[in-house]
Structure 1
Amino acid sequence: MHIETNGTRIHVAQQGSGELALVFLHYYGGSSRTWDAVAAQVAQRCRIVATDHRGWGRSAAPAEGYRIADLAADAEGVIAALGLQRYVLVGHSMGGKVAQLMASRRPHGLEGLILVAPSPPSPMLLSAEQRAMLAGAYQSRESVEFVLDHVLTAKPLTAARRAQVIEDSLQAAPQAKLAWPNVAMAEDITADVAAIEVPTLVISGEQDQVDRIATLQAELLPRIPQAALRVLPGVGHLSPLEDPEAVAQLIEGFIDALPKATRQ
C-alpha cells in the first residue's frame, strides 16, 4: 500500500498482527524488502510495518527533501496514518539515524528503539573522494557487487538476497543516492538523541566495516540513555540479510524484556 505523507507517497509493506507494532526503516541501498526474513520470524507476535524511504523501493522520489528530518517526517506520517498506538522503531544504518531522531521527539506510543548497525548521531566526516565513491557505489551492477562483497557483508548472501540487494540499490532515485553521502550523513543530531527515554537495543556486526563497533562505542552509546549493545559474531553491516535469524531473536528478546504493561 501507499500512504500520502509529508508531500510525497510512501510505500508500506505490512504483515502480522498484534497490539504492538514493529516499524522497520531500511539502510542506504535497501528497501522495505531488506527486512523480509527478519519480519517473517516475528510477524506471529507483532504487527509488521516496513517502509520504503522516499526515493527508494516503491516510494515516490521527489526532487528534494532527503535530510534526516524529512525521512523522519515521512515515517511519522505513516505511523499517524496507520493509527499505531504502541510500537517499537527498528532502524538499520541510515534508517537507524532516522529512528534516533524520531525517538528523540518522544512520540506517543513509542515503547522501544532497536538500532541495527546504526549510523551514529554525530556527523560522519568523509573526504570529497570518499563521498564521491559512496555516491557512486550504486551506479552499476558491478559497483554494487563490489561494495556488497568487499564492504557491506562478512557472510555471503543467498542468491535470492544478493539479487534483491542489487536490484534495490540500482533502482533508487539518483537524488536519493546522492543525498545520504552529501547531506544526511554529515548532519549532527547529537543534541537531539540525549532526549531519548525508551529502552534502546543496539545490534552490531562483529565485522561491520561501515558503522564499526568502536565508532558506536564512541559516538552513539554514550549519547543515548538506556542503550545496550549486542554484537553478532562473524557478521558485517547487512545483518538483517546476513543473519536474519539472529537479528529476529534479539528483537524478540528485547520485546520480552519491555515492561510488562507494554507487552499486554
Structure 2
Amino acid sequence: MPFIALPAGTLHVREAGNGPRVLLLIHGNCASSRWWNNLLCSPPEGLRLLAPDLRGCGESMRPGSGYDVATLATDLHAVLDACGVECCDIVGHSLGGAVALQMALDAPQRCRSLLLATPAPADGMPLQAPFSWLGAERTAQLFPNIALNRTVLTRALPRVAPGLHDPAALAELLDDALACEHAAVAGFTASLMAFNVIELLHSLTCPTLLLAGALDPLVPPLQLQATTTALPHSHLLIWPDCGHAPQLEHSQRFISLLTRWLADPAAVLNEAPLEWPFVEPTDPGLLRRLRQWVGLD
C-alpha cells in the first residue's frame, strides 16, 4: 500500500507495525514522511503507523492547487478510508498540527487523541518581521524562493532544529525541503497565515497534548497559549532544550512521551501546567533570530 489513489492524484503512504491501534503521523511544511523515520524504523509495540507524504511533498502527487489545510485534511481522511481505519490517534508536526486539528473538527468520532508537536497556532501563524511589511499574500508568494534556497536552508536548519547534530540527518532534511513543490510551499504558507479555527476548538472532546520547544524560532511557545486555552482537554508541554523538531532533536524522549501519552492521556493532562517565561513575538531578540533563520543576518 505505498500509494493511495485520490481524485487529484496519488498520495505516498509509508506503513510500519502491525498492531491493532492506528497512529497517523502528519509531517510539516518543507518536509516529508521521512521526518518520522525514527518511529517508522522502530514502531512501538501494538501500533500500526501510517505516515503519508502530503500533496506536493515527498513522493506524493504535485497538483497545481489544493494546498490549504482543509484540503490536506480531506486527503488524509481519504487515506484512512482506503486503509480501513475508523478511529486513530494523530500526531501532527508544525503544518501537520493544523491538519490534525482540522481532521478532528471534520470528524471528531475518528480522532482518539491528538499530539501536536510545535504546531501551527489554531488562530493562524502571525506575520512577523522581516516579512510584515510585505503583507500575507506577497509573503506567501515569495516565501518559497527563500525556503527552497539551498544556501538559506543550509544556514537555517541548524537554527530551526538546534538539538539535531547528525550531519546525515540534516542533509536528508535539506533534500526533503528542496524536493517540495514550489506551489505547495506557497500554498501551505498562505493557508497557515489564514488558518483560524480557534472559536471551534471548544467542541473537541479528545485529549490533546501540545509540545513546544523553548528554542523554536518558528512557533515560540507563547504563540500556542491561545490554542491551549481554547482546547477543553489539553496540556502544553515545553521542552527547554528543543527547537522546532522535537521528534528529531530528541527522538528517544519523543518516543517515550508518545508511548506514555497513548497509554494514559489523563496522567499527562493532569501534570502541573507550565508558566510562560518566554519572549513576546515582538521581542527584538526573536526578530533577530527570525532574520537569521531566513539568512538576512
SS of the aligned residue for 1:18 comes to coil
Shift of 1:168: 0.5
- Tell me the equivalent position of 1:262: none
Q: Which amino acid aligns with 1:241?
A: L
Gaps of 5+ in 2: 267-297
Question: Where does residue 143 of structure 1 map in the other structure?
Answer: 152
2:10 aligns to what? 9
The alignment partner of 2:146 has SS state of: coil
Within 5 Å, give how 1:164-203 maps onto structure 2.
164-203=172-211
Of 224-233 and 186-195, deviating more is 186-195
Can you list the C-alpha shifts for 1:176-222, whole angstroms capped at 9, x where unaligned? 011122233322222332221101111111211111111111x2101
Asked if the contact 2:15/2:40 (under 8 Å) is kept, the reply is no
CA contact (8 A) 2:44 2:259 kept: no
Q: Which structure has the larger Rg?
A: 2
Q: Among all aligned residue pairs of Structure 1 and Structure 2, give the percentage whose two residues are the same amino acid.
A: 28
Q: Pick from 249, 255, 259 the counterpart of residue 248 of structure 1.
A: 255
Give the letter for the 1:224 counterpart. L
Letter of the 1:185 partner, please give it: M
Out of 213, 218, 224, the position equivalent to 1:216 is 224
Inter-partner Cα distance in structure 1 for 2:192 and 2:219: 15
Going from structure 1 to structure 2, the CA distance change for 1:105 and 1:183 (only over 3 Å counts) comes to closer
* Partner Cα separation in structure 2 for residue 211 and residue 29 of structure 1: 15
Contact 1:106 1:195 in 2 (8 A): no
Q: Determine the structure 1 residue equivalent to 2:97.
A: 96
**Cα RMSD after superposing both structures:** 1.8
> 2:153 corresponds to which letter in structure 1?
V
SS in 2 for 1:182: helix
- Relative to structure 1, the CA distance from residue 256 to residue 196 in structure 2 (aligned partners, 3 Å threshold; closer, same or farther) is same
Match of 1:238? 245
Partner of 2:274: none
Q: CA offset at residue 110 of structure 1?
A: 2.0
Q: Secondary structure at the match of 1:229?
A: strand
> Aligned with 1:47: secondary structure?
strand
Q: Secondary structure at the match of 2:49?
A: strand
Deviation of the 1:6 alpha carbon: 4.6
Q: In 2, are the aligned partners of 1:86 and 1:109 still within 8 Å (CA)?
A: yes
Task: Give the Å deviation of 1:78.
Answer: 0.2
TM-score normalised by length of structure 2: 0.81
CA contact (8 A) 1:204 1:213 kept: yes
Give the unaligned 5+ runs of structure 1.
Answer: 260-264
Call closer, same or farther: CA 1:258–1:181 in 2, change over 3 Å: closer
For residue 194 of structure 1, give the secondary structure of its aligned residue in structure 2: helix
Measure, in 1, the Cα distance between the counterparts of 2:194 and 2:147.
19
- Residue identity in the other structure for 1:95: G
CA distance in 1, matches of 2:174, 2:75: 25
Retained in 2: the 8 A contact 1:23–1:48?
Answer: yes
The CA distance in 2 between the partners of 1:103 and 1:183, in whole Å, is 18
Q: Which residue of 2 aligns with 1:205?
A: 213
User: What residue identity is the alignment partner of 1:189?
Assistant: V
Q: What displacement does 1:41 show?
A: 4.1
Name the counterpart of 2:118.
117
CA contact (8 A) 1:204 1:232 kept: yes
Q: Take 1:230 and 1:184, find their aligned partners in 2: how far apart are those partners? A: 22
**In the aligned structure 2, how far is the partner of 1:205 from the partner of 1:129?**
27
The alpha-carbon deviation at position 129 of structure 1 amounts to 6.9
Contact preservation (8 Å) 1:15, 1:43? no
Counterpart of 2:73?
Answer: 72
| Offset, 1:52 | 0.6
Give 1:86 deviation, angstroms.
Answer: 3.3
The equivalent of 2:24 in structure 1 is 23
Q: Which amino acid aligns with 1:139?
A: L
Separation in 2 of the partners of 1:60 and 1:176?
Answer: 11
Q: Distance in 2 between matches of 1:75 and 1:85?
A: 12
